[in-house]
Structure 1
Amino acid sequence: MSAASLYRRHRVAIQGVAVLLLALLGFAALHALLSEVRWRDVRHAISAVSAWQLVAAVLLTAASYLMLTFYDVLALRIVGKPLPYRTAALASLTSYTLSHNFGFALLTGGSARYRVYSAAGLETPDIVRVIATASVTFWAGIFVMAGVALSVHGGRLDLAGLAIPGAVQRGLGLVILAAALAVLCLLRGGNHEVRVLRWRFNLPGRTQALAQIAISALDLAAASAALLVLVPGASAGQFPIFFLGYALAIIAALVTHVPGGVGVFEAVIIAVMPGVEPSHILAALILYRVVYYILPLIVAAAMLAIHERRRLRQPLATAMGAMQMALGGLAPTVLSALVFVGGVVLLVSGSLPAIPHRLRALHAFAPLPFIEASHIAASLAGTALLLIAPGLYRRLDAAFHLCRALLVAGAIFSLAKGVDYEEAAILLVIAGLLQLSHGAFYRKTALTSAIGSARSLMSVLLAVGLATWIGFFAFKHVDYQSEMWWHFAWKGDASRFLRASFGSAVVLLCVVIWHWFGHARPPRADPVAADGELPGAALAQSNRTDALLAYTGDKRFLRSASGDAVVMYQVQGQSWIVMGDPVGPREQWGELLWQLREMVDAAQGRLLLYQISTDALPIAIDLGLQLAKYGEEARVDLAAFTMDGPDMKSLRHADRRAAREGAEFAIVPAHAMDTILPELRAVSDAWLAAKGQSEKSFSVGRFDPAYLGRFDCAVVRAGGRIVAFANIWATENREELSVDLMRHLDDMPYGTMDYLFVRLMQWGKGQGYRWFNLGMAPLSGIESRRLAPVWARIGGLLYRHGDAFYGFEGLRAYKEKFGPVWSPRYIAGPHGLGLARGMIDLQTLIGGGKRSAARRLRLVA
């Protein structure tokens, strides 16, 4: 196996190990730089920070995040897709809040941008251009600001022991500024497009480029100043040299991809500031993490949680807007990140010594064993929060209940182990924000399913490693001995840290082993079609007749643990194609589709959801799929159906004429189908020959005696022979009635099919059915406006001018005669070319691409 193929196969593991090694190097460098610093020095430095310094840092942070919103505003203008400020600001703030805290900007911040911009109507290439343009804005500001700082700084520059004379640094700064000026001169007055590989990008005009530099410079100046004002004794004159160190730290954090730059950012800042007391810089860095990273995350989570609460109370028609769904999808993402931070807070607190006077106050009424148990319990709760937080992103109800309970328990343990009311308040705030959005976590699942995937374990390991390093730093003066493990005393902070770290390590080891061995499952059986193995429990609860496509014998089934819900799908090429909405209780849909999504990812395939309703749209968005309207479905309200009125004139005429010409309608029950199957076969063969078609599959039934024998059949006879038939689909709860296979002879009486539908609807009304489903009108209702997506414009063109191929408008006009209620249906699939490839596989599948598989299934039956 070549190195390239080995990397592709184990890419995630290799990248994870590389990031963890870089993080360990950062911690090692930080440990060496702080070898002479004690925790009490850092604590005193934190206490020395005044209120005005904190206020100034908060205001500068707000200014920085305000500038960040203009990154996207300007990028959207450069790519020619301007959007309202509130949309650009939402995308920018959520993107940068997540990427600042967790790194992997393309994965965390990029997914947030995609969710907002795709909901606002931007296509994938445009979103990629926006992200790339925003990145160019950031780097332009970094280099220009570094050039300015090098040019104005007069003294010698020391960077981690490397001395750069003043003349050299000024020359370097001028070269950087000259290069920036040359690029500006090369740019034209307006936008123009360049091509890089298969992507097209818009270059900004000179004015836009200057705006990019100005916005980024203001952002970086405010962000770095927010850190500088927190350093005790720092002055404005130190800003040029300080900014150079800050820029270098930012670049190092981005290049290493360590989540949040933890360890790497701090090590670089301390290394390039040799003239400042390290304990003062470390104190400022700790406060900076709280002010610039955690505080904006809490604010973003609060805003989204409040919005989610309001959205869940809105009527469905109001809440199903694309931007509303995008906002609703961001809330679980940000809350998941915030709960993860809560877990880190508990672990870090457990690694630090207790505040002496608080512990003495607790000593007055709480026994030592209670303190010891609370300390280790808090650390274990923090570890559990780290592991379970990713389940919130998937909207799992088990993750919600566990995280809420752990946050409250962690707050109680924080008070019980040392009256740490600050962290208890943080945890209760997070729990409150989680409670505000409780309706968003609706996916029923087992408790073990809420634990994060193998991908998330890297961040968990890094967080536990950070807490462990902090503990060893805080207790570096302690002479470690084996007796410390079972040493219990009021001043035994180091012993408590060791026991808590060991407990967290054991929990992590158990989870890693569970992921390693617990995911070994026997391969799923191939699709089954035997009666006893079909999803009968789910079908019995269905409100929709298209669930009966399960009986066609050409589908695979993914069942819920209870067996009450099922997803019907088939694999064609690399595409895993789901037919319609999941069948069964709606609260189980999300978990089923996520399970399928993970199966698709493991098989390196692509997921396509075909003909889903608006009920499944939020889940499709959460899955990261692109939505495209496929058409509209017609349903007739049987309680209101009548043949009276001017709108039914054509139907009355067809019905009466067919009856005059000898048409007779009848329902043949399923148990009597054997007696008419030969006659139905003759009608079917004649219909296929006349249409020049072959049997279809997957989305419709086919003439199969085993399949047709399951259902009652509506037939029309003329002169004693069957001239038309349709097998009847009916839900057990009489919610819906429909037909699937419709075939007829060319010499049938005039209006026979209208006659069949009218009589069947009248029969269904008499039997107490609520709706009659007339099926889809493909491409109907698609807006093909100038600014609509490419799929919509092509679909609208085919609908208006494609009668030679299919008769789209004619099909809708025919169904419109029955006075139906129209509801939209969608396709959800991968972005870009993946959707087109999935559609090709879909047409192959419907055209009979899986006939051999279907035949195998019928042999099993």
Structure 2
Amino acid sequence: MTLTTKPSDSAAAPERSGQKSQLRALLPYLAALLLFGAGIMALYRLLEPVDIQAVAHQIMTTPWHVIGAAMVATLAGYGCLACYDWSALRHIGKRLPPPVALMGGFLAYAFGNTIGLTAVSGAAVRWRVYSGLGLDGYDIAAISTFTSVAFGIAATLVGLTALAVHPTALAGLLPFGPDMVRLMAVLAVLGILGPLIWASVSQRQMKIRRFTLNAPSPANMAAQLLISLGDISLSALTLYLLLPTGSAPDFLTFLAIFAAATMAGIISHVPGGVGVFETVMIAALPAAGGIDKIAAALLLFRLIYYLVPFAAALVLLALFEAWRVVSGRRWENRMGRLFSATEPAFRAVEPLAPLLLAVMVFGSGLWMSLSSLLPPMTEAADAAETFFPLAFIEGSALLTSALGALLIVLSLGLVRRSLGALWLTMLAMLTGAVISLVQNVEPEQATALIVGVLILMPFRRAFHRRSMLTHAALTPGWVVLLLAAILGVGFVMFFSHKSTPYAHELWWQFATDANAPRALRSGLLASLLVGAGSLFLLLRTPRFRACPPTADELAAARTIAMAQGDPAACFALTGDKTILLSDDRRAFVMFGVAGTSWLAYGAPIGEPESAEEVAYTFVDAARRDGVRPVFYQIGPEAVPLMLDLGMTLHKMGEEAVVDLRRFSLEGPSRKRLRTAHARAGRDGLTLELMYPPHDAGLMARLRSISDEWLSLKKSQEKGFSVGRFQRDWLDMWPLAVVRLDGAPVAFANLLQTDRQDCCGVDLMRHSLHAPAGTMEFLFTELLLQMKARGFARFSLGMAPLSGLSPQRSGRLWDRFGSLAYRHGGAFYNFEGLRAFKAKFDPDWVPHYLATPSGLPPLLPLADAARLISRGGERGAEREA
């Protein structure tokens, strides 16, 4: 199906506002890309005198004991990083098992440092770990804030202290003399330490907008200072050990340079600070030691400090997954005991596995693409060029480049849990390993690719989407990453072959030693395949036409809805919403179109895997059509899926759900409800449950009651989130009819599924002549009768805008909603509605509006109001 929706003129202003909002959201990505490009350009100029063969020789001749010492320093540094979380938990007064806290901290930093956006990535890992251990969002935010502030302060203090001792460390980058640099550094150190010590001793608090920061105790601050100093010093030591003797200044001077480069890389938000960190280091270190040696040390540092911990954490996660597959009972060794002690940390990180595996595959593809561009680096590779036929050499270079580009594109599918992308990825990696083994020149690449396949295998259950390879996977982040990869490939190609002057004839030169022409062809092929693959994925994004559901779609939706426990799924059968079914027809999204929004009512309904698939399809199709996807009135169980979709949650209110197992009219707390129920019975009110099909005479009487109620409320029939008074709709459900001396005076239709677990109400209307207390009697009697019929829960519906906590969240929407809740009685009696439902002692379940933007959801709510108000028009059309 295809969808064509054009926003009306009245929606032009909201559309422009939405475009501005999207532009603001893109600015961080554009800034990161520009900084990466600037870093690459600066690196190219700084490395202009460097020969890549010299860099390769320097790396290969680095003594093993130096590499071993650098790895030990890295391991100790990550131990300090893991202690950040232990210290933060002590500061907020939370106690967790040390193995869980330390493993959670290690995983957070091992993955976050490599992926980039460490504060965000680490916070995501911490959320997964600690939310499953009883910590709420504010605790986790406090941990992330504490660790980020501690690292920032420590890096600044280390750098400033080193500058105070050696003010010439950044002489090439600062426009001040040594004496001025020393004075400024000393004053800055005192300006930071003085307030910190004073705040710690006096236990001060500082408010930053909606957050309150409590100063750590002197003991905690001292412990954190030692941890932070160890972290910065050990990470600097890792690089310092790799620098050849004579090419580095003394350690304190180097520490100042390292701290400045680290902060520049973090501020840039480029993944891993690639390009930015190297540029500052090369510019600040003395060139007398040889830029080629510095470049080799920086490359080795990247491999040891970033990729080795990432790979180790990924291997541990894969081993844990394999341990789970064999039920964790056959590994009664040290590894098994490690997993048993740290299981909560690993279980919490598991949902991030597709993203982490995608990063691994992306890196593998980039490595394969780059290897096809580089000239032979060893004597064995040089000899292979003379031993193998020319066709094999040319073909293997092109095939390696193509496989690398394919892995880069397939990594997008892995993020979306595509099963087809998983199998294709494993096939491409095995093919690349075979090519490397046949060439017998890069055994490391073959080994790494085979290990990558072994890492992927235990996660087979995480990849369950059997439809398209991916749906609109090219989010801004991925687009920037692809462009950065292409920039990186171009940098390596031109840097490796800069001694060969460019000429058009290079493209057609074929010879065993024609490395530059071969690199040009391989680079072009890789770039074309990445671009074509990305364009193909964009064009495969599904499009839908919003139209009334067909009989077949309604039948499929009814089967799925009746198997659920939530009666709200039954609103799919009103016929006023488009039904979007998953490919396996085991889940669906019901949505309507209004203004510039596609509004899904509730979360996707059906089997979890299929529901996730159809949710992605809905979001991708809406974005393809240039409108915002919105999920209206979702419950807490759908929050993880909404976060995976990149949506922002805005609290709409709370649903009142009565636990019928504990509901009764007995006890002192029920005295008022018991008295009112008994008085209504004495006044002649009774309630009768009537099951479809319903008598035509009864329906005519209920129609008059409905018309009286609409007239009393000065309203008309609604739609989308409620049903309408229509014979075909009411004939699907039982009716609760309240009679006064035998005559109907009020009614409600009940929504219930085949599971007979929870029951809810839709329409609730009464006549002008119904006595006071009729609706209270209706609900009280309904609760008692549904409890007698074996139902466990009863939904009284939403209390809009209730339960908002602007004091804790500080969000503009919560403040606005709270004001409307307290003072909006002239328009809608929010407080009165909640007070009425509170009589029945319900559990209050939060419900949310999920939107793509963090701005107050005024436009989506306006579109929802427009969609709901159309119910009367459509109802009239259907009745006609």
TM-score range, shorter chain: 0.7 to 0.9
**Displacement after TM superposition at 1:503 (Å):** 0.6
- Residue 189 (structure 1) aligned with residue 211 (structure 2): no
**Displacement after TM superposition at 1:590 (Å):** 1.0
- Residue 66 (structure 1) aligned with residue 79 (structure 2): yes
The more displaced of 447-456 and 4-13 is 4-13
Q: Aligned residue for 2:669?
A: none
Determine which of 246, 258, 276 is the counterpart of 1:264. Answer: 276
Deviations 1:37-88 (A, max 9, x none): 2122112111221111111111111111111123333344445556554555
Q: Aligned residue for 2:469?
A: 447
Q: Distance in 2 between matches of 1:584 and 1:600?
A: 20
Deviations 1:689-736 (A, max 9, x none): 999999776555343334224567688999997788776767699999
Matches within 5 A, 1:538-549: 538-542=557-561, 543-544=563-564, 546-549=568-571
- 2:456 aligned counterpart, secondary structure: helix
- Residue 41 (structure 1) aligned with residue 58 (structure 2): no
CA 1:833–1:270: 2 relative to 1, 3 Å = closer
Q: Aligned residue for 1:508?
A: 530
Given residue 144 of structure 2, which amino acid in structure 1 is its aligned partner? I
- 1:275 aligned counterpart, secondary structure: helix
- Residue 285 (structure 1) aligned with residue 298 (structure 2): yes
CA 1:468–1:438: 2 relative to 1, 3 Å = same
Q: Aligned residue for 2:113?
A: 100
Q: Aligned residue for 2:318?
A: 305
CA 1:201–1:418: 2 relative to 1, 3 Å = same
- Residue 468 (structure 1) aligned with residue 490 (structure 2): yes
Determine which of 344, 350, 374 is the counterpart of 1:328. Answer: 350
Q: Distance in 2 between matches of 1:87 and 1:530?
A: 50
Q: Aligned residue for 1:204?
A: 216
- Residue 482 (structure 1) aligned with residue 496 (structure 2): no
Q: Aligned residue for 1:776?
A: 795
Residues 802 and 808 in structure 1, CA contact (< 8 A), matched pair in contact too: no
**Displacement after TM superposition at 1:127 (Å):** 4.2
Q: Distance in 2 between matches of 1:734 and 1:182?
A: 66
Q: Distance in 2 between matches of 1:61 and 1:193?
A: 35
Q: Distance in 1 between matches of 2:550 and 2:44?
A: 66
Q: Aligned residue for 2:308?
A: 295
Across the aligned residues of Structure 1 and Structure 2, the Cα RMSD in angstroms comes to 5.3
- 1:187 aligned counterpart, secondary structure: helix
Q: Aligned residue for 2:456?
A: 434
Deviations 1:624-664 (A, max 9, x none): 66699967978999xxxxxxxxxxxx9xxx9xx99xx9999
Deviations 1:352-386 (A, max 9, x none): 22355444776799654344323222222222322
The more displaced of 241-250 and 626-635 is 626-635
Residues 160 and 256 in structure 2, CA contact (< 8 A), matched pair in contact too: no
Matches within 5 A, 1:381-780: 381-417=403-439, 419-449=441-471, 451-511=473-533, 513=535, 528-529=547-548, 531-532=550-551, 535-542=554-561, 543-544=563-564, 546-553=568-575, 555-560=577-582, 565-569=587-591, 578-597=600-619, 607-608=630-631, 610=633, 612=635, 616=638, 618-620=640-642, 622-623=644-645, 667-669=691-693, 674=696, 676-682=698-704, 698=720, 700-710=722-732, 775-776=794-795
Q: Distance in 2 between matches of 1:109 and 1:402?
A: 30
Determine which of 858, 863, 869 is the counterpart of 1:852. Answer: 869
Residues 570 and 751 in structure 2, CA contact (< 8 A), matched pair in contact too: yes
- Residue 213 (structure 1) aligned with residue 213 (structure 2): no
The runs of 5 or more residues in structure 1 that have no matched partner are 638-649, 766-770, 796-800, 813-821
CA 1:736–1:144: 2 relative to 1, 3 Å = closer
- 2:243 aligned counterpart, secondary structure: coil
Q: Aligned residue for 2:840?
A: 810
Q: Aligned residue for 2:337?
A: none
CA 1:194–1:753: 2 relative to 1, 3 Å = closer
**Displacement after TM superposition at 1:502 (Å):** 0.3
CA 1:775–1:688: 2 relative to 1, 3 Å = farther
Q: Distance in 2 between matches of 1:620 and 1:14?
A: 23
The more displaced of 537-546 and 707-716 is 707-716
Deviations 1:366-409 (A, max 9, x none): 65434432322222222232233244334333443333333323
Residues 650 and 857 in structure 2, CA contact (< 8 A), matched pair in contact too: no
Q: Aligned residue for 2:6?
A: none
- 2:417 aligned counterpart, secondary structure: coil
CA 1:730–1:253: 2 relative to 1, 3 Å = closer
Given residue 31 of structure 1, which amino acid in structure 2 is its aligned partner? Y
Given residue 267 of structure 1, which amino acid in structure 2 is its aligned partner? T
Q: Distance in 2 between matches of 1:663 and 1:256?
A: 68
CA 1:700–1:373: 2 relative to 1, 3 Å = same
- 1:806 aligned counterpart, secondary structure: helix
Matches within 5 A, 1:5-404: 8-79=21-92, 84-86=97-99, 88-89=101-102, 92-124=105-137, 126-153=139-166, 157=169, 159-160=171-172, 170-233=182-245, 238-273=250-285, 274-308=287-321, 326-359=348-381, 367-404=389-426
Q: Distance in 2 between matches of 1:251 and 1:47?
A: 30
Q: Distance in 1 between matches of 2:84 and 2:557?
A: 49
CA 1:12–1:411: 2 relative to 1, 3 Å = farther
- 1:567 aligned counterpart, secondary structure: strand
Q: Distance in 1 between matches of 2:27 and 2:525?
A: 27
- 2:840 aligned counterpart, secondary structure: helix
Deviations 1:785-839 (A, max 9, x none): xxxx999xxx9xxxxx999823447376xxxxxxxxx9x976455699979x779
- 2:250 aligned counterpart, secondary structure: helix
**Displacement after TM superposition at 1:509 (Å):** 3.3
TM-score by length of 2: 0.75
Count of residues in correspondence between the two structures: 802
Deviations 1:105-146 (A, max 9, x none): 454344334444444555555544443332221222222222
Q: Distance in 1 between matches of 2:95 and 2:650?
A: 21
Residues 557 and 573 in structure 2, CA contact (< 8 A), matched pair in contact too: no
Q: Distance in 2 between matches of 1:164 and 1:464?
A: 38
Q: Distance in 1 between matches of 2:798 and 2:99?
A: 32
Q: Distance in 2 between matches of 1:601 and 1:90?
A: 38
- 1:201 aligned counterpart, secondary structure: strand
Q: Distance in 2 between matches of 1:196 and 1:728?
A: 49
Q: Distance in 2 between matches of 1:5 and 1:694?
A: 31
- 1:445 aligned counterpart, secondary structure: coil
CA 1:476–1:839: 2 relative to 1, 3 Å = closer
Given residue 272 of structure 2, which amino acid in structure 1 is its aligned partner? G
Deviations 1:550-602 (A, max 9, x none): 12355454444566532124689999765445234442211222344557889
Residues 149 and 241 in structure 1, CA contact (< 8 A), matched pair in contact too: yes
Q: Aligned residue for 1:816?
A: none
Q: Distance in 1 between matches of 2:170 and 2:749?
A: 84
The runs of 5 or more residues in structure 2 that have no matched partner are 1-12, 329-339, 662-673, 811-817, 819-830
Q: Distance in 2 between matches of 1:126 and 1:28?
A: 42
